[in-house]
Structure 1
Amino acid sequence: MPQHRTVEVNGLRLHLAEEGEGPLVLLLHGFPEFWYAWRHQLSPLAAAGFRVVAPDQRGYGDSDRPAAPEAYSVLHLAGDVVGLIKALGEERAVVVGHDWGALVAWQSALLRPDVVRAVAGLSILPMPRGPVPPLLSTREKTGGRFYWNYFEEPGVAEAEFGKDLDRTFRRLLYGASGDRPQPPAPPLVPPGGGFLDLAADPDPLPGWLTEEDIAAYVAAFGRSGFTGGLNWYRNLDRNWELTAAWEGARIEVPALYVVGDRDRAFPGDDGIVPALSGPAPHHRAPVVVRGAGHWVQQERPEAVNTALLGFLRSLA
């Protein structure tokens, strides 16, 4: 069973769950999640001889939530990864991330290959810096209906998600999963509507998601709210400005990409290697988990654990 404690990193208190002894593996959750997203990975990876740590990242769970939106830039988030490794008494770690956590993991490996000795991203590929700021780009292309732009407005998504937490997490977790009955709708918020209009209520819950899981999410976000996590999105254009010096840089450590083939982010079997090889040329064979959606490590934990353990053992 994982043990829970807090450590101080970059002036913040970060809560974490940890288990096992051996080489350090950090597990970074995405939006809207917390350490619990890795509940199926902690013990199996620890039993295989690794020290596994899943933090609540800044703004989430029982970790601190800075008030200033600009405190959630990708440089802050990568800085937390480096600081956490040091706070745990280690010099290097393998960093694994899902969703937004994958973006932080890729960025940390790009910026600090001396600290991040290998990286694995679940669901989200590395996102090289584009020619224009991302929020500006999606605003122009979709008239501001893209969900990133919906998340931009302070208080709007918070009000929608916080109105009924149980309904919110049923829709969010089911709606992006591989168990939804139809392909996911394009992430364009309907005029006058909200983000949750893009998903349906599950009846019943899929087998991988229990009432206890829903209750855990409701309890965690009942304490933390959503502003911290939404502030990550509100820094997308600022991240573009801050990372200009790394345009064209490549991730030079061993890398693994894992994705469900029912994930909206799935680039297709023929699209993965071209999308991965440019930014992460030292990647291993990508792993596509058939039937899984966006929450791949929760939906298909055995397949993901097998992939991660194979990658981790290969590094030795």
Structure 2
Amino acid sequence: MKTFLKQPGRAEADFSRFDVKTVLRNIYILFSRSEIPIAQKDQEIMDIVDSSSPLPPWFTEEDLAIYANLYTKSGFSCPLQVSYRGPHGEITTTNPKLQVPVLLIMGGKDYFLKFPGIEDYIIGGKVKECMPDMEMQLLPSGTHFIQEQLPEQVNELIISFLKKHF
């Protein structure tokens, strides 16, 4: 079994140039758009944010302050471990099917859908080969942070799914 890399890397070095609140502001500005944010060869991800860009309208300065306080205490190590340093290697599962009901809620404007093959895999239904009992709810105006952008709709979908299956 592979283990997570524990050494700080490029993202930590990039983030450490700024205070926590600025890093979070930049993350919400960058990843709430439908385009994939790509840094050039001589840039880091934090370098491509226009500091005059406003926060998304559904994410307030109060939200930012609360998140900044929490991340000041916990740091970014755990979120970076899970997403970017997880076990990326060979899959040892012989039958990678999830045999339970699954609910996927995505925003139609989530930048993640722009990665090559992802939209075909998810929207095109190929993902159902691994999760045959998956229900997908695509909220057209939603972005990557759909649970924060459209919390009432997301909560309704989750409650409805749970009532239906459990």
> Which range, TM-score by smaller chain?
0.7 to 0.9
Aligned counterparts of 1:258 and 1:206: Cα–Cα separation in 2: 19
TM-score by length of 1: 0.45
* Match 2:22 to one of 163, 167, 186: 167
SS in 2 for 1:265: helix
Whether the aligned pair in 1 keeps the contact of 2:146 and 2:154 (CA below 8 Å) is yes
SS in 2 for 1:171: helix
How many angstroms does 1:230 deviate by? 2.1
Q: Cα deviations across residues 210-237 of structure 1 (Å, max 9, x unaligned)?
A: 1111112211221222233323322333
Runs ≥4 residues deviating over 4 A:
267-271
Alignment of 1:103-114 (within 5 A): none
Alignment of 1:65-144 (within 5 A): 70=3, 72=4
TM-score by length of 2: 0.80
Gaps of 5+ in 2: none
Question: Partner letter of residue 282 of structure 1?
Answer: D
Question: Partner letter of residue 161 of structure 1?
Answer: F
How many angstroms does 1:199 deviate by? 3.8
> What residue number does 1:260 align with?
107
How many angstroms does 1:294 deviate by? 0.1
Ranked by relative contact order (alpha carbons within 8 Å, sequence separation 6 or more), the top structure is 2
Aligned counterparts of 1:287 and 1:170: Cα–Cα separation in 2: 27
SS in 2 for 1:256: strand
Aligned counterparts of 1:191 and 1:275: Cα–Cα separation in 2: 33
How has the CA–CA distance of structure 1 residues 234 and 268 changed in structure 2, closer, same or farther, with 3 Å as cutoff?
closer
Q: Which has the higher strand share?
A: 1
> Identity over the aligned pairs, expressed in percent?
28
> What residue number does 2:73 align with?
223
Question: Partner letter of residue 21 of structure 2?
Answer: D
> What residue number does 1:213 align with?
63
Alignment length (residue pairs)? 159
Aligned counterparts of 1:223 and 1:312: Cα–Cα separation in 2: 33
Q: Which moved more, 1:290-299 or 1:213-222?
A: 213-222
* Match 1:157 to one of 2, 7, 11: 11
